[in-house]
Structure 1
Amino acid sequence: MSNALRTAALLALTLGASGPASAWDATLAAGVTRESTEVLRLALQQDFQRSWWQSSSGRLTGYWDAGYTYWFGDKSASNHSLSFAPVFVYEFAGERVRPYVEAGIGVALFESTEHESHDLGSSFQFEDRLGFGLRFAGQEIGVRAIHYSNAGIKQPNDGAETYTLHYRTAF
């Protein structure tokens, strides 16, 4: 995973050196699957520009996420996927650092239905995610788990999971 982490760190520093905040953010994530396939993910986000249930302890908000993931490893040939998801975020109150938790369900398209020793059954997959992290100074760092499954639309439906560290910044 050292090559993936070096590439992710270099891209994160490049993204972090960009100009003033805007309506779009970029996220770079690096991680692994249960069977040691490495993943690199580059995504764009746009905030909902709304929040609900604001209180002194935090608020519910969210963003649209469109991503590209490159899957590579010793046990499988490379794979590519595109995904799109609405993601809901509960952001806890804080002056400089705001912890958050997130959850979302979206869709993904895989180039190949073969992944490690699994058969995804179809190129179309649902993408379920859970994550947590910290927001500070227009940036974010966090941990995320994403599960892919076709929900039994086509058999087999072996599914796949990724576990990543991510960095998000405005550009």
Structure 2
Amino acid sequence: MLTFRKIAAGLAATAALLFAQAGHAADGIIDSASFEFGTNPKQRMARVAVQSDWDQRWFATNGRHLSGYWEGSLAWWRLDAYRNVPGQRKNLAVIGFTPVLRYQNDSKLGLYGEIGIGVNLFSKLYKNEDNELSTAFQFGDHIGVGYTTARWDFGLRFQHYSNASIKKPNDGANWIVAKAAYRF
């Protein structure tokens, strides 16, 4: 049986491969790769992602500007009360694509704030505790803060998943997510 630890180990191995290979990506399309861990009271999430910087500067003033990046991700969620049964665990895979706006220093170093709204596809319908998402397609939005160095980006996000009431029930799922990204 696949445990969350085995999935997290698999994600770590995938992240290592991404880090090793993404630096050689064609035409520098991929700028960074990240590993993220999310939690809430009844679930855990591990996610790997790759990013592509837009390399734009909008609303530049006082040494700061608005820019952004594309992010593609693959995540595994571990539910601890699947179908509202305490102790019944279920793993879900989630693939996502998110455009992210980031307000940052002109040097792209130091503190930043960001927001993103993307699309996600779940491997199975989500039902955990008394929360249910009735579609496999979900929007994923986040707001976050972080700090970048020349090679590393560390961030903290509040992440929300919902289908925007395309179909009921649509209880949503909320996460606190920590991110570590390596920039190439």
> TM-score normalised by the shorter chain: which range applies?
0.7 to 0.9
CA contact (8 A) 1:20 1:170 kept: no
CA contact (8 A) 1:11 1:28 kept: no
Q: 1:43 to 1:9 in 2, by over 3 A?
A: closer
Identity of aligned pairs, percent? 33
TM-score, normalised to structure 2's length?
Answer: 0.78
CA contact (8 A) 1:79 1:115 kept: no
Query: 2:103 aligned to 78, 87, 90, which one?
Result: 90
CA contact (8 A) 1:31 1:38 kept: yes
Q: Could you give the per-residue CA deviations for residues 41-73 of structure 1, whole angstroms, max 9, x where no partner exists?
A: 111110112111222331111000111110014
User: C-alpha distance in 1, partners of 2:97/2:107?
Assistant: 29
Partner of 1:29: 36
Q: 1:106 to 1:12 in 2, by over 3 A?
A: closer
CA contact (8 A) 2:45 2:75 kept: yes
Give the root-mean-square deviation of aligned CA atoms.
2.7
User: C-alpha distance in 2, partners of 1:148/1:156?
Assistant: 13
Query: 1:114 aligned to 126, 134, 140, which one?
Result: 126
Q: Secondary structure at the match of 2:134?
A: coil
Deviation at 1:119, TM superposition (A): 1.5
Gaps of 5+ in 1: none
Partner of 1:150: 163
CA contact (8 A) 2:111 2:146 kept: yes
How many residue pairs get aligned? The number is 167
Partner of 1:166: 179
User: C-alpha distance in 2, partners of 1:155/1:28?
Assistant: 32
Query: 2:150 aligned to 137, 150, 167, which one?
Result: 137
Partner of 1:39: 45
Q: Secondary structure at the match of 1:78?
A: strand
| Highest RCO, 1 vs 2 (Cα 8 Å, sep ≥ 6) | 1
Q: Which amino acid aligns with 2:181?
A: R
CA contact (8 A) 2:38 2:46 kept: yes
User: C-alpha distance in 2, partners of 1:165/1:42?
Assistant: 12
Query: 1:59 aligned to 65, 75, 80, which one?
Result: 65
Q: Which amino acid aligns with 2:118?
A: G
Gaps of 5+ in 2: 83-89
TM-score, normalised to structure 1's length?
Answer: 0.83
User: C-alpha distance in 1, partners of 2:15/2:75?
Assistant: 16
Q: Could you give the per-residue CA deviations for residues 72-108 of structure 1, whole angstroms, max 9, x where no partner exists?
A: 143231111111111000003569x410000011111
Q: Secondary structure at the match of 1:108?
A: strand
Q: Could you give the per-residue CA deviations for residues 108-156 of structure 1, whole angstroms, max 9, x where no partner exists?
A: 1111112312220101111111110001013200101111111111011
User: C-alpha distance in 2, partners of 1:69/1:119?
Assistant: 18
Partner of 2:87: none
CA contact (8 A) 1:125 1:149 kept: yes
